[in-house]
Every structure is written in structure tokens, then in C-alpha cells.
Amino acid sequence: MADLKIKTAYFGGSFDPPHAGHIALADAAVAAGLADEVWLAPAWVPPHKHRRLSPFSDRLRMTELACEGHAGLRVCADESEFALAPSYTIDVLAKLEEKYPSRRFLLLIGGDMLATFHQWHRAKELLAKYPVVSYPRPGEPDSAAELRKHWSAEETEKLRSGLLAAVPLFDISSTKIRRGLEKGQNTDNSINTEVFEYIMKSGLYRKKGDKID
């Protein structure tokens, strides 16, 4: 029997701020037919972020602005409803499955996450339950030999089967972007105009006492 559920890629992250690399990866997953929709989900309480994040409402609004005009991309705000702390991906996905029974979820992760995916909370259970789609950045250890250090042969094959091809390369550092924003600069035009204008108006990332020119 054909699977009539809507293939939905869950793409979680701090999105502080969302940048061109995030959007390119999400667009590529839809274009490749791996997902009918990609849900970009700003994390409520990211488990592995130690720096102070921008407020959830600001990260949500910036992600909405970043996704405007991109067919197949949707912003998921459900983590604020679930209020999990920390918001582990496997727990969020379980709640999304319960709330949206017409959807079949898969997991979309950034290339820099693949090498450390084995460190995620209940990682083996997460991989067993959900297809994982990723696009390794240049230089990231995505080879079978590297993955086999932490995963079985079957798990390694499953991870590598979800590798995306032909995604535009974006060597983007969120830290570098935030440092530019502290000075009122959009580094390498890595965030779109609407997001940049929102940041400038809101005073996000500015150091206390700084003025916008």
C-alpha cells in the first residue's frame, strides 16, 4: 500500500540567526524529492548551546522571514507549546507525530552535525526510527570509515544513503555572522534583507550601549 502520509523533514536548530546555508539545505531536500515539506523549527531550549540565545519569539520571526517565498518551507513553532527543557529532538518528534498523524517525519541535519550525530540524545533510537538527510560541508568527516567508528555497518549505510548532492556550498559561520551584526553589518550577505532589517530594528546582537548608525 502506498504511503499517503506527507513526507515532512524536521529541521531543528537555534536559528540565531537563520542564514542562507539553512535555507539552501531546506530547499535542496524539497527539490530532491526527499520531503514534501521542510519544517524549520527554532529550538525552545537547545541541549548543546551554552551561549545566551536570542529570545525564542525573535528567532521564530527571523526564521519566518527567511522562509518567505520558498515553496515547501514552513516554520514550526510547536516547541514553544511543548516547552521541553532541554528540547531533545527525539522527544520533539514524538510529540509532533502525535499532533500530526497525517505526516511521516524524517530528520534534516546540517553537515557539521553528521560527525557528532552519535552524541545526540538517544542517537541510535533516533536513527532507527527516522530517515536522516544531511549535506556534509567540505572537509567534514562523512566517509564510511569515519562513521563506522561510532555506527554499525547498517547504521552507516543508512546515514550515507541520506546524503544530499548538488547543494550550493555555503561556508558560513553563525558566529562570524553574529560578530558582523554586532557592528550592524550583514557579513557576506549571509542573511536576507528582511531578516537583516528585522535585526537592525530590534537591536538584536548589538552590545549594550551600542548605537545603530
Residue 96 pLDDT exceeds 90: yes
| Rounded average pLDDT over 169-184 | 86
* Average pLDDT rounded to a whole number, residues 95-104: 97
Whether 61 is covered by a domain: the verdict is: yes
Residue 73 lies in a domain: yes
Residue 105 in domain = yes
CA distance 211 to 208: 9
Tell which wins on pLDDT, 167 or 79: 79
Q: What is the mean pLDDT of residues 101-126?
A: 92
CA 117 remoteness from chain centre? 13
pLDDT digits (tens, 9 = 90+) for 130-145: 999 998 665 555 578 8
In this prediction, residues 51-63 reach a mean pLDDT of 94
Q: Is residue 108 part of a domain?
A: yes
User: Which run of H or of E encompasses 37?
Assistant: strand 37-42
As a whole number, mean pLDDT of residues 58-65 equals 98
The pLDDT > 90 percentage for the chain reads 69
With a CB cutoff of 8 Å and minimum separation 6, the contacts of 3 are 104
Stated as kind and residue range, the H or E segment containing 132 is strand 132-135
**Euclidean distance between CA atoms 177 and 175, whole angstroms:** 5
For residues 36-41, give the mean pLDDT: 98
Work out the number of other CB atoms within 10 angstroms of the CB of residue 24: 17
What's the confidence (pLDDT) of residue 80?
A: 94
Domain containing 24 — which CATH number? 3.40.50.620
Contact 198, 60 (CB under 8 A): no
Q: Give residue 212's pLDDT.
A: 42
Model confidence at 213, pLDDT cuts 50, 70, 90, reads very low
Domain assignment present for residue 142? The answer is yes
CA-nearest of 18, 5, 39 to 133 is: 39
Q: Is the pLDDT of residue 198 over 60?
A: yes
Q: What is the pLDDT of residue 138?
A: 58
Check pLDDT > 50 for residue 211: no
For range 98-103, the mean pLDDT:
97
Residues 34 and 106: beta-carbon distance below 8 Å: yes
Is residue 166 in some structural domain?
yes
Domain assignment present for 18:
yes
Structural domains counted in the chain: 1
Higher pLDDT: 108 or 212? It is 108
- Please state the rounded mean pLDDT for residues 27-42: 95
Within a domain: 38 = yes
Tell me what pLDDT residue 54 has.
94
Looking at residue 170, its pLDDT comes to 65
Domain carrying residue 84: 6-170
